[in-house]
Amino acid sequence: MIRNTTLSLLIMALSACSAPVTRQAGIDNSHSETEKTLQRELAFQSQVNRSLKAQRIGLPILRESASHCGSNTAPHLGLLAFTRAHFKGELQEAASKHWQLSDEYKIVEVFANSPASKAGLKPGDVVMRINNQAVTPSNYELRKLIAGPYTTGLPVPVDIMRAGEAQTLTLDMEVICNYPVNVVSSDAVNAYADGKAIYITSGMMRFTETDEELATVIGHELAHNQMDHIGKQSNNRMLGVILGAIVTVATGVDVTNLGGNMGAGAFSQDFEAEADYVGIYATARAGYDIKQAPNFWRRMGAEHPAGIAHGASHPNTANRYLALDKAVQEIAEKQTAGLALAPNLK
């Protein structure tokens, strides 16, 4: 009874709230649905454009750093191909319309200077067989289809349909670092790595002004994976938990979680500085002009003034600018001397 009375009083109070006083034109439901569909298509196109840009800029970095990624490499053909089945829900409708997809495995993008590009594959080609294996909706994972040729080093035959005509092209695979570049929907100006992939936010995609700036970001995140910073931080956290447990037993005050957090934070600034240093080498190896790379941190300082003089898990932007500027000079000297572009190790 009290609950019903309270609800009634709330409704009465809300009915006294101010309301708009203008008379606006009504919106037809069918027009609303049409506009929603259009906006979904525009949103999908925007997502696709950001993703393709990140992959296009990241591919040379992953390719030229393959020898620095140890055993974590993978074959790469340099193309994107989809069927309708790759997408679900509203995305399926938008993707199907954008690329005119069906149940056939259709190439939608071929990256420059890739095996697919060199072999003559083009967007719009329908892939029928890879390595003499039929491509079907239940069997369209490229890496599985090219696993055999990858281990033997043999070229990959690809059977396609182009404008109704069957053709067979041969691709020589390339090996790249096995850290795919992904764009995630977030307004935060951020990028991160998890030991398995590289993630760039849509906010960071908008913030970077040039291909070289985005390449600098991708190189930095690749370096986190190359140097196993995620694994090292995990080990440091575990060590902190163990030490915290020992202190907890000795004092009776539970500091286990505190110890874990302190362990995880150990050397975090040093790891970030190392990623800047190793990452700019990766960017340079890919052929990007890195002379203006340090300016990225000046712009980041202007965007986030609190980070100019102080940093918690990351070095401050002033020091990052200066350190990266020295790294750029170091790389320039090695290029002039004809030396390999590899970071200096302790």
Per-residue pLDDT of the chain (346 residues; tens, 9 = 90+): 566 677 777 776 667 677 788 888 888 888 888 888 888 888 888 998 999 999 999 999 999 999 999 889 988 888 888 888 888 888 888 888 888 988 888 999 999 999 999 999 999 999 998 888 888 765 545 555 555 555 556 788 899 999 999 999 998 888 899 999 999 999 999 999 999 999 999 999 999 999 999 999 999 999 999 998 886 776 656 655 565 556 566 676 675 666 555 545 555 788 889 999 999 999 999 999 999 999 998 998 888 777 665 556 677 888 899 999 999 999 999 999 999 999 998 8
Residue with tokens 């000795």: 250
Burial classification of residue 39, based on how many CB atoms lie within 10 Å of its CB (0-12 exposed, 13-18 middle, 19 or more buried): exposed
Residue 32 lies in a domain: no
Of the residues 177, 192, 225, which one is the last residue of a structural domain? 177
Name the 3-class secondary structure at 345: coil
- 249 phi and psi angles, rounded to 5 deg: -65, -40
How many whole angstroms separate alpha carbon 37 and alpha carbon 31? 10
Report pLDDT for 289. 96
Task: Please tell me whether residues 151 and 235 are part of one structural domain.
Answer: no
Task: Please tell me whether residues 215 and 133 are part of one structural domain.
Answer: no
Report pLDDT for 300. 86
CATH number at residue 108: 2.30.42.10
Name the 3-class secondary structure at 143: helix
Task: Please tell me whether residues 169 and 242 are part of one structural domain.
Answer: no
Residue 131 lies in a domain: yes
CA atoms within 13 A on the CB side of 171: 29
Report pLDDT for 263. 46
Number of domains composing the chain: 2
How many whole angstroms separate alpha carbon 150 and alpha carbon 163? 29
Residue 242 lies in a domain: yes
Name the 3-class secondary structure at 44: helix
Burial classification of residue 113, based on how many CB atoms lie within 10 Å of its CB (0-12 exposed, 13-18 middle, 19 or more buried): exposed
Task: Please tell me whether residues 167 and 221 are part of one structural domain.
Answer: no
| Bridge partners, 214 (sequence order) | none
Task: Please tell me whether residues 247 and 159 are part of one structural domain.
Answer: no
Tokens of 12: 């009465």
Go through 266-291 and write b for each residue having 16 or more CB atoms within 10 A of its CB, e for each that does not: bebbebbbbbbbbbbbbbbbbebebe
Amino acid making up residue 298 = R
Tokens of 338: 């004809």
Task: Please tell me whether residues 135 and 250 are part of one structural domain.
Answer: no
How many whole angstroms separate alpha carbon 266 and alpha carbon 240? 9
pTM for the model stands at 0.83
Domain that includes residue 251, residue range: 206-337
Q: Cβ(196)–Cβ(220) under 8 Å?
A: no
Residue 132 lies in a domain: yes
Residue 186 lies in a domain: no
- 280 phi and psi angles, rounded to 5 deg: -70, -25
How many whole angstroms separate alpha carbon 293 and alpha carbon 137? 43
